[in-house]
Amino acid sequence: MNATRVSYTLDSTLASVNKAEQAVAEVAAKSGFDEDECGRIALAVREATVNAVLHGNRYDPTKRVTVSFESIPDSLTITVRDEGPGLDTRLIPDPLAPENLLKQSGRGIFLIRAFMDEVRFRTMSPGTEITMIKFVRGADRDGNKEANQ
Amino acid sequence: MTMKASSRQVDGVTIVDLSGRITLGEGSVVLRDTVKDLSTQGHKKILLNLGDVTYIDSSGIGELVSAFTSVRNAGGELKLLNLTKKVHDLLQITKLYTVFDISDDEASAINSFNR
């Protein structure tokens, strides 16, 4: 099975966010996702990297963000890791709740979950790691093509 | 691509033509400053033309929401014009499509302020 793995160690800056977004868009296109899906994957990675830079590392120049891509024929897995104080996802408010609808922030993780097929958070020491998986259309979560079912 | 904003007046409505990306950083700041300046100058009817906005992230969505509430709190109205499919989809997913007054036709949007 062919697999492509790429990993970037990035500074805690907005330039890193743009770099991660651009890199995943290229990887997603090569992985067989259509233009709309590439846009959604790129946005999910942008949001995850913004969280890592802004809320995780808080722009700390001594901390790094690690972004990794693993592309196999049926899926693309992206991991974004920061060195911040950690994130308790249970405390993230629902941005669709009426009382939160007009809040300025709090939609990033919601969009990641909306656009990716699987999303997992892992508490590291230090930091948070988010793993996002997108399956190529027609493949199920075990990597089998629907046509083969 | 950086974001650009230019405004024009049509029948008492201030139309802000936005182009580029509304994302964390420069794009969000341009939108925030533009709407803030218009509000300070007393503009109460603001129509954001998003037809040339190629990309928006959660920060950009937040900036649209913030612009909407700040104009409304100042006694004005802020509406949206010409959403691209990407922006339309994002506003739908985030349930903000029902919050904003959205139009695909500039003349209709202008008339809607004057009802």
**CB pair distance less than 8 Å for B90 and A102:** no
Q: ∠ CA(A79), CA(A21), CA(A116), 5° rounding? A: 55
ipTM for the complex?
Answer: 0.91
Name the residue of chain A whose CA is nearest to B66's CA: A104
User: Between 3.40.190.10, 3.40.30.10, 3.30.750.24, 3.90.1150.10, what CATH number should domain B4-110 receive?
Assistant: 3.30.750.24
Distance of CA A73 to the CA centre of its chain: 19
With contact defined as beta carbons under 8 Å apart, do A72 and A3 qualify? yes
Q: How would you write the pLDDT of chain A (149 residues) with one tens digit per residue?
A: 578 899 999 999 999 999 999 999 999 999 999 999 999 999 999 999 999 999 999 999 999 999 999 999 999 999 999 999 998 888 899 999 999 999 999 999 999 999 999 999 999 989 999 999 999 976 655 555 444 33
Pairing of strands A64-72, A75-81: antiparallel
* Reported CATH class of domain A4-148: alpha beta
Q: pTM of the entire structure? A: 0.91
Contact (CB<8Å) B24/A43: no
Residue in chain B closest to A35 (alpha carbons) equals B86
Smallest Cα distance from B23 to chain A, Å: 10
Strand partners, B56: B22
